[in-house]
Structure formats: structure tokens, C-alpha cells
Amino acid sequence: MEEAVIDARQLSLREVNARIREAIARGLKVKVRNAKEVYGLAAGIDRGVVEVEGDVGERAAMLIGRRERGVGPRIVINGNAGAYLADNAWAGEVIVHGSAGDYLGVYAYGGAIVVHGDAGHGVGQLLRGATVPRGLDDWGRDLHSRQP
């Protein structure tokens, strides 16, 4: 799959999200760099693949997916994510290869949210149907257990 690379460093939120939507409409996979200060990255997208290289700001992947179709985008963050990740998500997948801030998946109606690191408080608060699996290590042991 061909990809579009977006450097978010000098772009506004509106410009970054418009470029993401344009690339997805052309059938491209999207790779975003320098998104640490972007709050609301990939908000409202309903399809496609978005991969973030590095950290992302608050409210990334909010309002993603389409409830009536039960389909959504695949968003992979290769770094940490700020608070309110996947807030009000309807469908799709959000995968974080790092940690996430507070209120992960708050009010999420559908889809799956996976964080391979830690998450702040309020995880899945007011969850409406999304899946937020409890973390397991490579051997299937509960990461939150205090037993060896």
C-alpha cells in the first residue's frame, strides 16, 4: 500500500487533519511525524490506516469510526499518547506502542483500544461498548498483578 508522509511540525490541527483525510480518500496509508503538540490528531476519521511516528498530543483518535456501519480506521501510535485518547470512538482500532494519559477511551461506543504501556486514571470510564483489554506481558501474565 502506498503511503503519504505528513510532517505536522509547522501545521495547524486543521491542516494536519485535512491532509490525513485527503490521503485516505486517495487510498493511501498515512504516516504522521512530529505530532507531539497536535491535539485532536485524526479526529473524526472513519476509515484508512494512520501511523504516528513518535508521541501524539491529547484527544487523538477521538470520534473515529461510523456507528451505523461498525467500521473505522486503524490508528497506530509508535510512542506515547496524551489524555482522552479515543474519546467517543465509534469503531476502529487504536494501538499505542507506548503509554497513554488519563481518560483513555472515555465514552467509547465501539472499536478496540490497546495500549502496550501504562495508562493514567479513568481508563474506559463511562465505556459504552468499546473493548479496552487489560494488559498482558509476552507470556500472558497480567501486567497489573504484583505476583512474579
Q: Per residue in 33-86, pLDDT tens?
A: 999 999 999 999 999 999 999 999 999 999 999 988 789 999 999 999 999 999
pLDDT in the model for residue 148: 45
Q: Could you report the per-residue pLDDT of 115-147, keeping only the tens digit for each?
A: 999 888 888 888 888 888 765 555 555 555 544
Domain membership of residue 50 as a residue range? 3-115
- Report if residue 96 sits inside a domain: yes
Domains of the chain: total: 1
The answer as to whether 102 is a domain residue is: yes
Q: Is residue 146 part of a domain?
A: no
- In a domain, residue 134? The reply is no
What is the 3-state secondary structure of the chain?
CCEEEEECCCCCHHHHHHHHHHHHHCCCEEEEEEECCCCCCCCCCCCCEEEEEEEECCCCCCCCCECCCCECCEEEEECCECCCCCCCCCCCEEEECCCECCCCCCCCCCCEEEECCCECCCCCCCCCCCECCCCECCCCCECCCCCC
Q: Is residue 60 part of a domain?
A: yes
